[in-house]
Structure 1
Amino acid sequence: MPMHAPRRRPFRLLALLALCLPLAGPAADAPATLQQRAAFRQAWAAAQQGGEGWRAWDAQLAGYPIYPYLEAAALTHDLRQLDRARVEDYLRRYPDLIPAADLRRDFLLELARRQDWDGFLALYRPGLGDTLACDALQARLAHGARLDFERDLAALWQKPALPGACDPVLQAAHDAGLLTAERLWARIDRAVDAGQGGTVAMLAPWLPADQAQAAQRLAQALRDPAGAALDAQRWPDTPRHRQAAALAVQRLARRQSDSADAAWQALQARFRFTPAQRDAVLYALALYHATDFDERALERLAALPATAQTGASREWRARVALARQDWPAVLAAIEAMPAAQQDDAEWRYFRARALAATGREAAAQTLFAALAAEPGYFGFLAADRLGQSYALCPLDPPSDPQREQALLAEPGLTRAFELYAVGLPRQARREWSRALDGADPATLALAADLAYRNGWYDRAVFVFSSGEALRYYEERFPLASQDGVVPQAGQAGIDPAWAYAIARAESAWMSDARSGADARGLMQLLPQTAAQVARRNGLDWQGGDSLYDPVVNIALGTRYLAQMAARFGGAPWLASAAYNAGPEKVQQWLDARGALPPDLFVASIPYKETREYVARVMAFSVIYDWRLNGKALALSSRMTPVGQPYAPPPAGAPRRPVACPVVAVPAAAPAESASVPAAPASSVAPAAEPAEAASGGSAR
């Protein structure tokens, strides 16, 4: 049996659930469970419309574990017409269930809207979030209570931004004299650090008159750094104005590094900046000139004082040197990094590249050999350099049927699996998280493996994300054949391993994933993009919500991938970058640095998210190729030089075997890790990384 073949185990989830579900009747068998699921789906659709129509399925759903979700859905729909007694009745019957907590929270928001403060206080419980905490303070104020800063506001005051529900409470605190200048400045400084110009602008008028102007200028620096940098030439040289001027230059550097240079030259003579302020400005100027790959970027970064250096500035010194193919400068930049940063797979790989380019082939081969024993993007690149097999050492998660049976008897997990089975993955994940909160790793692994074996793939992706579990390749890289990836990729004319890799990187197999930009489903398509792709390819289009159907999403996503590939000579690595950052951005980068070899080009991508995304997708493509075929195409064959046409591998294309090296596999392999989009949405770059790096997904 090939190592990528699915495992066969004696215990299947459906049978276990049939033993655990408290079903009516003498035999709780799988057909009865399937009938109840069908009845629940119908009742759920009715409950979403409110009223009592959903009760038509009561007889069929007696004892069904997720039955309480139906009533909660109907009550939530009818929220504006509800009285407190009906909500309290539900809470009394289901006090510990998630839908009860949701109903309480939603009805409290409705009571606050009604300003029914008596009812609000009767239902309120602490710990329900900032909005309801402020509504509770409003309720107390309406009953004549007086605010105490330490008791009522101190925790909220630590937040750099608060919801609008807190505005009346803060106004009351101000009117009561509780918001001293010291307290106001403490919160303004937190808001400045978080980039919350709106908070600063709101608080500024409450400062004494001689301080309010300086706070407004801090807000301006955050909101309009170009205007602030220009206006600062007329500001007084006070500590707070110096802070605002330095902040304006730093923020301007992110957008217009040349303009920031000019502003800094003009302001240095006017303000007595502190050493820390000077370092912060010099750092921002050097970093953002580097992301623009300006002519003097390398010299600026190398000249930064030690007090202004960060991991990001040292990293960008190396990236600029790589973009120039200045190999001695690459080595010098890596040598300037702290030991932990140098040990990252990326910098070990590029140290080896630089050593080879400067004639130290033996030292380079030693570094490549060590890297080739690691599974991941840079390990695969190193293996290609040496012509070696890829280092993949698969393991199966431990199996314990008796513990599985006990685990599935836990009511919360039973509800989780049933919610997933009826097509409510968001609710299923919440029940899962609550049921397994505080569980030991062995229990989590059993639960994740059970979920995987029954098609709930994202649980395994998230749970098996570190240590030895990184070797559970079958679970971490599922072959969701029911979603049609292989045939749809074939019809689109792209490599199915690449299509799988994109879906895995985009959503971690969460079919209901939705980003902040409204990208949806497994391959994270924007509805407007999906509509265009459907029209272009003569495919049916049923609107944005149809993207949560995996079959629809895969059909449209593979066609869009093919569209991106066609724009960039078929190259999957460039099309992956375009899928993440947009084709226009990729074209800009090609126009500037298109002569670079692919590995150097990827390293020079200015957006952190896109850089890491391309590396992740390329590594995932290797793993999925192996999962599909038992062997894998060389990663370098997928990363053709710019301008060289690429075609998907034909049937029978030569592939290399994988091997488990004697060298121990590291506990974490960054490019091959379980990194997934948050929410699933685009990940956000660390503060030290250029702000532009946080943008992505604009193409979809």
Structure 2
Amino acid sequence: MSIDAKGVALLLSLVLAVAAVPVAGEDAEKAVAQREKLREARAAIARGDQSEPARLKRELRGYPLLPYLDYWALSKKLPQLPYGEIDQFLTDYRDTAIGDWMRVRVLRELGSRERFRAYLEYYRPDKITRTSLRCYYADALSRHGDKRAAYELVEELWTVGVSQPEECDPAFNRWIGDGGLTPELAWRRHRLAVERGNLDLASYIAGKMGDGQARLAQLMRSVHREPTQLADYTRFISDEPEYRDIVLHGLHRLAREDAAASDRAWRRYEASYLFSDEERDVLLRRLALQFARQDDMEGLRQLLARSEDFSDPRIFEWLARQSLRELDWAQVEFWIDRLPESEQQSDRWLYWKARTIEELYSKGRADEAVALYRKAAAERSYYGFLAADTLGENYSFVDRPAPITPRQVEQLAAHPAMQRARELQAIGEFYHARREWDYATEGMSHEELLTAGKLASSWGWYHKSIRSVLAADYLDDLELRFPLAFPNIVADVSRRMGDNTALNPYLIYAVARQESHFSHDAKSRAGALGLMQLLPSTARATARRAGVSYRRSWDLLSPDTNIALGSHYLNSLLDRFDNNRFLAAAAYNAGPTRVARWLEETGNRLPYDVWIETIPFNETRNYVQNVLAYTVIYAYRSGEKASLLSEREASRRL
């Protein structure tokens, strides 16, 4: 976004946030007046006025965000490094989010200007995790402190497979100049870089090696690009220890291209090099997974037969799903029985073991299947609901509100950090609001986290409410875990969609809950925005078709716009996939083109539960299962009863 765009987005977020933090009567008028004075004071600070902020500060006495005026004022002066004011600020706001953040900003300023004696005074190892600041610290220590401790830190910062920020260069260069970079450390970082695929970094590291080691480093990068070279066994058998690393990395790379060739090479090299048990297990898991992905079942069977002690639940789960896709129920049972007992007792595999027994043994083991279904049906989950439907029984919701009193919530709400978080949210300072909240909740007890969840829910800060109860590992308060967020917007959008669609409020809630935990300003790495995580390109195309007002990407931070566009897009996927909700959910996550291709590959031969279980992408499979289960839970939360699947959805072959 441009600066102007950020300003518009901030204004929009301010309106939304104030609406999410309701205050009534005189308190409302007072809050509006205080926020206006804060805005005036901040503007005065920005233009260098000193008298106006001082006057407004007196009028804002007792206002939660008064410390932020000090923060903004000091930030304006920070390039001048007024040490007395910095010290006073850090003392006044010790052990607060804003105090720690100011310390970070001070350290950035000191490090960039090489004020390293002062840097050592302000640095706190227990508070600082940013790599750039740790590198400044190593540089400062090496100049004015304990050089041995400095170089221990430099070695730690050096030995990674990624490029480090430029702030690390001075410390690295001094360490290298003092002889700290040994051939072993150079090779280790080169190996890590190659393993991460950072060949440019690896080439840079090789430039610091002697000729012999640089030649071996070049060979490793060459094998990374063309691992089939490992077929020339005589070329790679050597007493030089670097060859062992080259071979092991090459075997992993070759497995991605040709698991059978990698397996053959492994058997030859295993006899020549002493690999550790861990290295052996990791490679065998890679080989097994690649055999499976390359549909080489015979190669996989031979690998497992040669490795009787091999056990990897991921591989066995993959094989069970592959057998499901082929409707080979005997093999499904075989692979389920290979899983660890704890996995077999999960609701997922209890359900599939029961399904397998029904398919293989008809009535012969009916009681066993029923017992397994009943055990799975006790869970509030996709598989639990599937099992309950099979038995014709009611779903288990296990809805137990967290045992937190209103008094506990009131006491936490009065905490200064919580008051600051709430008011920052209200004025649209979401970054600092989250910092205050996260700082205040870090290290909280189980009970305190539940209290925080209740408090966030009362503020309409739904994503923090959900995350607090998850952090407390209390999963049975359905009001906190599955809030009926933005109910008027959801109901209005659903009503406007009409009756000729499978879209209903519960499905909208389920998708928004899965996508963003109801964080209206959520942004993904892929650029998706808002509650229902829409890409601007998708939003633009949907807006044209649906007649929804949409001008700029930050419009998606508005719950009204986002829910409207997300619901219209979801409805278009329902139209495309014959009102089938699980196909539409899969398309919402993975794209409609992929779903159409998956349907073509399966050719109308799989039952619905098998099709969902064998969705190729783990993320999409979990997404679909969650959305279906959440839809049922949101119906329950709304006082309604809903089935996991409609009769039409459950009867279709895919």
How does the TM-score come out when normalised to structure 2? 0.82
Asked whether 1:374 is paired with 2:379, we answer: yes
Equivalent position of 1:606 in the other structure: 616
Equivalent position of 1:173 in the other structure: 175
- Matches of 1:41 and 1:640 in 2, distance apart? 58
Asked whether 1:497 is paired with 2:499, we answer: no
- Matches of 1:304 and 1:501 in 2, distance apart? 46
Q: Deviation at 1:370? A: 1.4
Residues 278-287 or 498-507, more deviating: 278-287
Q: Is the 8 A contact 1:452 1:460 kept in 2?
A: yes
- Matches of 1:518 and 1:280 in 2, distance apart? 34
Q: Deviation at 1:269? A: 5.7
Correspondent of 1:434 among 439, 461, 468: 439
Equivalent position of 1:620 in the other structure: 630
Q: Is the 8 A contact 2:506 2:631 kept in 1?
A: yes
Identical positions, percent: 34
Asked whether 1:514 is paired with 2:520, we answer: no
Asked whether 1:547 is paired with 2:552, we answer: no
Pair 304,377 (structure 1): closer, same or farther in 2 beyond 3 Å:
farther
Q: Deviation at 1:43? A: 4.7
- Matches of 1:51 and 1:587 in 2, distance apart? 60
- Matches of 1:542 and 1:78 in 2, distance apart? 38
Equivalent position of 1:572 in the other structure: 581
Q: Is the 8 A contact 1:108 1:120 kept in 2?
A: yes
Map 1:138-287 → 2, pairs under 5 A: 138-139=139-140, 146=147, 151-157=152-158, 159-161=160-162, 162-187=164-189, 200-219=202-221, 225-230=224-229, 233=232, 235-238=235-238, 239-254=241-256, 256=257, 259-262=258-261, 265=264, 272=272, 280-287=282-289
Q: Match for 1:550: what amino acid?
A: P
- Matches of 2:576 and 2:294 in 1, distance apart? 24
Q: Is the 8 A contact 1:229 1:249 kept in 2?
A: no
| Structure 1, unpaired ranges of 5+ | 1-12, 19-27, 645-700
Pair 466,431 (structure 1): closer, same or farther in 2 beyond 3 Å:
closer
Equivalent position of 2:15 in the other structure: none
SS in 2 for 1:633: coil
Q: Is the 8 A contact 1:124 1:136 kept in 2?
A: yes
Equivalent position of 2:480 in the other structure: 475
Pair 417,279 (structure 1): closer, same or farther in 2 beyond 3 Å:
closer
Correspondent of 1:35 among 32, 35, 50: 32
Pair 633,530 (structure 1): closer, same or farther in 2 beyond 3 Å:
same
Pair 642,71 (structure 1): closer, same or farther in 2 beyond 3 Å:
farther
Q: Match for 2:32: what amino acid?
A: Q
Equivalent position of 1:459 in the other structure: 464
SS in 2 for 1:470: coil
Equivalent position of 1:318 in the other structure: 320
Q: Is the 8 A contact 1:197 1:220 kept in 2?
A: no
Higher helix share: 2
- Matches of 1:51 and 1:296 in 2, distance apart? 76
Residues 405-414 or 69-78, more deviating: 69-78
Equivalent position of 1:130 in the other structure: 131
Q: Is the 8 A contact 2:350 2:372 kept in 1?
A: yes
Pair 526,442 (structure 1): closer, same or farther in 2 beyond 3 Å:
same
- Matches of 2:571 and 2:112 in 1, distance apart? 49
Q: Deviation at 1:462? A: 1.4
Pair 528,112 (structure 1): closer, same or farther in 2 beyond 3 Å:
farther
Equivalent position of 2:112 in the other structure: 113
Equivalent position of 1:72 in the other structure: 71
SS in 2 for 1:391: coil
**CA displacement, residues 415-456 of structure 1 (integer Å, 9 cap, x when unaligned):** 222223333344223222322333322222222112212311
Pair 432,466 (structure 1): closer, same or farther in 2 beyond 3 Å:
closer
- Matches of 1:131 and 1:626 in 2, distance apart? 49
Q: Is the 8 A contact 2:90 2:99 kept in 1?
A: yes
Pair 317,95 (structure 1): closer, same or farther in 2 beyond 3 Å:
same
- Matches of 1:48 and 1:570 in 2, distance apart? 57
Q: Is the 8 A contact 2:402 2:477 kept in 1?
A: yes
Q: Match for 2:28: what amino acid?
A: P
Q: Deviation at 1:556? A: 1.7
Equivalent position of 1:443 in the other structure: 448
Asked whether 1:597 is paired with 2:607, we answer: yes
Residues 30-39 or 51-60, more deviating: 51-60
Residues 508-517 or 580-589, more deviating: 580-589
